[in-house]
């Protein structure tokens, strides 16, 4: 209740539609706040994609994984996707990573539904399911190399949750059919009490990417201000507060 009231106070003054999901690492219980709840994954889907590609191809795809995660390189992500085989198989492989991390709902898009954009990037990924995925990410042994990359992203990607010390994050953004941007991001944040999974998203009223980033910065400031009240946990434990 305290978190809800606090979030409502800051979000009501923001110029756009925002949402946040929070969970203790190792736990399935998600706190969701705000009026944004689902949308296109954009580049956040590169995390399970990189995990799948590295698990399948090993060092042969190491460079592509690094570029796709640290710099959000789209060509590198497409290379990893192609290495997984035909689109239907690639989608199944990436979806298997989601399932292993507790997301039993999300269906990875295998078809290029929007010209000029990747198939996988158009996957619909809800705030709740992305938070569940983030909460179990540190518990997957095959995710460790990707988490390391998420902890060392390039300067151009250091906004929102990426600015929090000790975080491993990945952002994603893109326009809808009217060229209004959705900007989203998820992270695993380390605290003295354990780890917290956070997913945030914004659809700015202005429709611009820069305003979306500014909104995520404000949501991140709220996360930091509430850090002692957020659930935190460890793999196999979870549920702490």
CATH of the domain at 143: 3.40.710.10
Domain assignment present for residue 203? The answer is yes
Which residues span the domain enclosing 37?
Answer: 2-229
pLDDT of 58: 84
Percent share of the chain, pLDDT over 70: 98
Rounded distance, CA 81 to CA 100, Å?
19
Contacts of 38 (CB under 8 A, 6+ apart): 124, 125, 126, 127
Look at residue 236 and tell me whether its pLDDT is greater than 80.
Answer: no
Rounded distance, CA 187 to CA 143, Å?
13
- 1 vs 64, residue with greater confidence: 64
Domain assignment present for residue 239? The answer is no
Rounded distance, CA 57 to CA 83, Å?
8
Look at residue 2 and tell me whether its pLDDT is greater than 90.
Answer: no
Label residue 239 by pLDDT band (50, 70, 90).
low
pLDDT of 240: 47
Per-residue pLDDT reduced to its tens digit, 132-168: 999 999 999 999 999 999 999 999 999 999 999 999 9
Mean pLDDT of 209-238: 93
Label residue 1 by pLDDT band (50, 70, 90).
low
Q: Write down the residue that tokens 């941007």 correspond to.
A: 181
Rounded distance, CA 125 to CA 237, Å?
25
Domain assignment present for residue 218? The answer is yes
Rounded distance, CA 42 to CA 54, Å?
20
Helix or strand run (H / E) with residue 10: helix 2-11
Contacts of 167 (CB under 8 A, 6+ apart): 151, 161, 187, 188, 189, 190
Per-residue pLDDT reduced to its tens digit, 23-46: 999 999 999 999 999 999 999 999
Which of 10, 35, 29, 33 has the alpha carbon at shortest distance from 21? 33
pLDDT of 241: 43
Domain assignment present for residue 178? The answer is yes
Domain assignment present for residue 238? The answer is no
In degrees and rounded to multiples of 5, residue 119 shows phi and psi of -65, -55
Mean pLDDT of 106-130: 98
Domain assignment present for residue 23? The answer is yes
Computed over every residue of the chain, the mean pLDDT equals: 96
Mean pLDDT of 48-66: 93
The one-character DSSP state at 185 is E
Which of 215, 196, 221, 36 has the alpha carbon at shortest distance from 127? 36
Mean pLDDT of 39-59: 96
- Reduced to 3 states (helix: H, G, I; strand: E, B; else coil), residue 117 is coil
Rounded distance, CA 64 to CA 71, Å?
10
Domain assignment present for residue 169? The answer is yes
Q: Where are the beta strands (DSSP E) in 77-211?
A: 167-175, 181-191, 194-204
Rounded distance, CA 128 to CA 203, Å?
17
Domain assignment present for residue 48? The answer is yes
Per-residue pLDDT reduced to its tens digit, 177-212: 999 999 999 999 999 999 999 999 999 999 999 999
pLDDT of 238: 53
pTM of the shown model: 0.96
How many structural domains does the chain have?
1
The one-character DSSP state at 173 is E
Rounded distance, CA 61 to CA 81, Å?
10
Percent share of the chain, pLDDT over 90: 95
């Amino acid at each position: 209740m305290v978190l809800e009231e606090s979030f409502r106070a800051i979000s009501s003054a923001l110029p756009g539609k925002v949402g946040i999901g929070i969970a203790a690492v190792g736990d399935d219980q998600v706190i969701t706040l705000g009026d944004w709840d689902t949308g296109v994954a954009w580049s956040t889907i590169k995390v399970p994609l990189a995990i799948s590609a590295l698990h399948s191809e090993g060092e042969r795809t190491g460079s592509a994984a690094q570029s796709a995660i640290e710099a959000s390189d789209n060509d590198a992500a497409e290379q990893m996707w192609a290495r997984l085989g035909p689109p239907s198989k690639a989608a199944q492989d990436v979806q298997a990573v989601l399932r292993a991390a507790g997301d039993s709902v999300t269906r990875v898009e295998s078809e290029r539904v929007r010209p000029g954009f990747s198939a996988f990037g158009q996957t619909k990924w809800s705030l709740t399911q992305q938070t569940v995925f983030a909460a179990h990410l540190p518990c997957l042994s095959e995710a460790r190399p990707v988490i390391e990359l998420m902890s060392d992203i390039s300067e151009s990607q250091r906004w929102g949750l990426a600015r929090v010390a000790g975080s491993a994050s990945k952002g994603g953004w893109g326009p809808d059919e009217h060229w209004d941007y959705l900007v989203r991001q998820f992270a695993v944040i380390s605290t003295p009490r354990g780890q917290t999974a956070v997913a945030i998203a914004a659809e700015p009223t202005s429709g611009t990417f820069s305003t979306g980033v500014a909104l995520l910065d404000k949501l991140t400031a709220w996360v930091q201000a509430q850090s002692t009240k957020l659930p935190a946990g460890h793999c196999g434990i979870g549920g702490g507060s």
